[in-house]
Amino acid sequence: MNKQTVANERIGESYRKIKHPSGLTVYLYPMKGFVTSYAVMGTRYGSVDCRFKTGRDEDFVTVPNGIAHYLEHKLFENEDCDAFARFAKTGASANAFTSFDRTCYLFSASSRLPENLEILLDFVTSPYFTPETVEKERGIITQEIRMYDDNPDWRVFFNLLSALYHVNPVKIDIAGTAESIQKIDAPLLYRCYNTFYNLNNMALAVAGNFSEEEVLAVCDRVLKKAEDIMVESVPPKEPELPVKQYAEQKLPVSLPMFHIGFKETPWDEGGFGEQKGMSYAHSCAEVFLEIFCGEASPLYRELYDQNLINASFGSELMMGRGYSCFIFAGESKDPKAVYSRILSALEDYRRKGIDPEEFETARKAVYGRIVRGYNNIESTANGLVLSHFYGITLFSSLESVSAMTLDDVNALLKTCLKRERGALSVILPA
């Protein structure tokens, strides 16, 4: 077993990365003084993985939108019993989520770690789908999709992605649509499962209160060696420019809601210019957004004082496998005015550059927020799985912020946040 320690001297923290003989990569982050243990098992498989093949397949297969999420729901059922029923006997709180590019299964428990971990590893590695059980889930998932149809925050976000992306499946709701999930059946679920739920395509992270020995003993007992089948998931080729620069929908909301987005070349396809890796690009963006439109920025103040934004305003760089975009979100009586002000403010920064003192202050703020995140068992374990899939370490962002230079942040502005790559999505009150 290949074991290594990943340490960070700056904050005096470390964790273990172990390649288990089964093929699974295991991350262990014991946290002194904590009572709870939190374990998350994830696969590099999300809603964007609709077209794929393994080394054994001749051709790519295209599957219906929403299937990764459907599979997540169905995996909780095994042949003889339901995973929730097994966790009911230990008291652990279990859950799962599907995102654009990963699916994770998790539990949080204040006792009986080995027993809970055994349930987790066992149910994730024991699929059981029949036509009847697959059919039963369709009603529940349809209600989940319908719930999101009524959620304006969700709609404004996906309407933006639909405006930005021509063919990338990131534009489709993670759960799929009421129509697309009709085509999902047991054989298709097995095909997806057998492709993506290969231990070589997965990671397990445990954080909190446990010992390395007890976790590895459970892994040894439950996991069977998996051959690496070389998964290839290739999204359709996406053009550089958005589909359209404006989208609107009417829903029962009080004030218009907006999402302003800028489509960037994905980090894994050479985006973000000469930046030093994904984590570095992301950290530069975080520092820039703090300077540009954080609560301490002149732009935030101006928009707030003119009553163009309220306290719900926020921004982020969303990055995942095969997609990257900046998003500015909020509520406004005049979203178009906000959009045009953001565009002109970006031009100002491009022309004048960033003030070195503002850069230092924003960097300090971002540093503090990252360190504060290491308090939390859930975010630590989830962060380990995410870092694994992106080929970085949990400490990469901390190191990026420490190493960052003003020039790098200014350089970001040269390649990103271009007017012709922007779009505005608005939800208007019905």
Q: Between residue 121 and residue 180, which ones bind another protein under the rule CB under 8 A?
A: 136-141, 143-144, 146-147, 149-153, 155, 159, 162-163
CA atoms of 428 and 333, how far apart (whole Å): 10
Nearest one of 75, 110, 73 to 91, comparing CA atoms: 110
Interaction between residue 32 and another protein (CB under 8 A): yes
Within the chain, what is the greatest distance between any pair of CA atoms?
A: 66
Cα separation, 92 vs 241, in Å, equals 47
Say whether 72 is catalytic.
yes
Between 161 and 203, whose beta carbon lies closer to another protein?
161
Q: What is the rounded distance in angstroms from the CA atom of residue 78 to the CA atom of residue 16?
A: 31
Q: Which of 8, 14, 78, 90 binds another protein (CB under 8 A)?
A: 90
Contact 43, 99 (CB under 8 A): no
Is 184 a binder of another protein (CB under 8 A)?
no
Residue whose tokens read 């994904």: 278
Residue 401 phi/psi, 5-degree rounding, is: -65, -40
Phi, psi angles (nearest 5°) of residue 109? -145, 140
Distance CA 74, CA 199 (A): 19
The single residue of 9, 72, 179, 212 carrying the catalytic annotation is: 72
- Minimal distance, residue 244 CB to another protein, in Å: 8
The answer to whether 33 contacts another protein (rule: CB under 8 A) is yes
Using only the alpha carbons of the chain, give its radius of gyration. Answer: 22
Q: Which residues contact 161 (CB under 8 A, 6 or more apart)?
A: 170, 171, 261, 325
Residue 253 or 318 with smaller CB distance to another protein: 253
Site string for another protein, 235-274 (x = CB under 8 A): --------x---xxxxxxxxx-x-----------------
Whole-angstrom distance, CA of residue 160 vs CA of residue 177: 17
Minimum gap (Å) between residue 329 Cβ and another protein: 13
The least CB distance from residue 420 to another protein, in Å, is 20
Give the shortest CB-95-to-another protein separation in angstroms. 9
d(CA 34, CA 375): 10
Among 7, 81, 85, 167, binds another protein (CB under 8 A): 85
Residue 34 is a binding residue for another protein (CB under 8 A): yes
Distance CA(373)–CA(108), nearest Å, equals 17
Label residue 80 exposed, middle or buried (CB < 10 Å: 0-12, 13-18, 19+).
exposed
Residue 89 lies near another protein (rule: CB under 8 A): yes
Binding-site size for another protein (CB under 8 A) equals 84
Q: Rule CB under 8 A: is residue 406 a binding residue for another protein?
A: no
Contact call for residue 111 and another protein (CB under 8 A): yes
Report the site for another protein in 188-217 (rule: CB under 8 A): 208-209
The answer to whether residue 430 forms part of the interface with another protein (CB under 8 A) is yes
Would you count residue 337 as binding another protein (CB under 8 A)? no
**Nearer of residues 58 and 140 to another protein, judged by Cβ:** 140
| Closer residue to another protein (CB): 5 or 254 | 254
When the beta carbons of 195 and 286 are compared against another protein, the nearer one is 286
String of contacts with another protein for each residue 361-390, x by CB under 8 A: xx-xxxxxx-xx-xxxx-------------
CA 186, 192, 195, 201 dihedral sign is negative
DSSP structure string for 247-308: EEEEES-SS-EEEEEEEE--GGGT-STT-SSHHHHHHHHHHHHHHHHSTTSHHHHHHHHTTS
- Residue 3 touching another protein (CB under 8 A): no
Name the one range near another protein by CB under 8 A: 1-9, 215-223, 310-318, 335-343: 310-318
Is residue 359 a contact residue for another protein (CB under 8 A)?
no
Q: According to CB under 8 A, which one of 6, 265, 304, 406 is a site residue for another protein?
A: 304
Q: Which one, 248 or 316, has the nearer CB to another protein?
A: 248
Residues with active-site annotation? 72
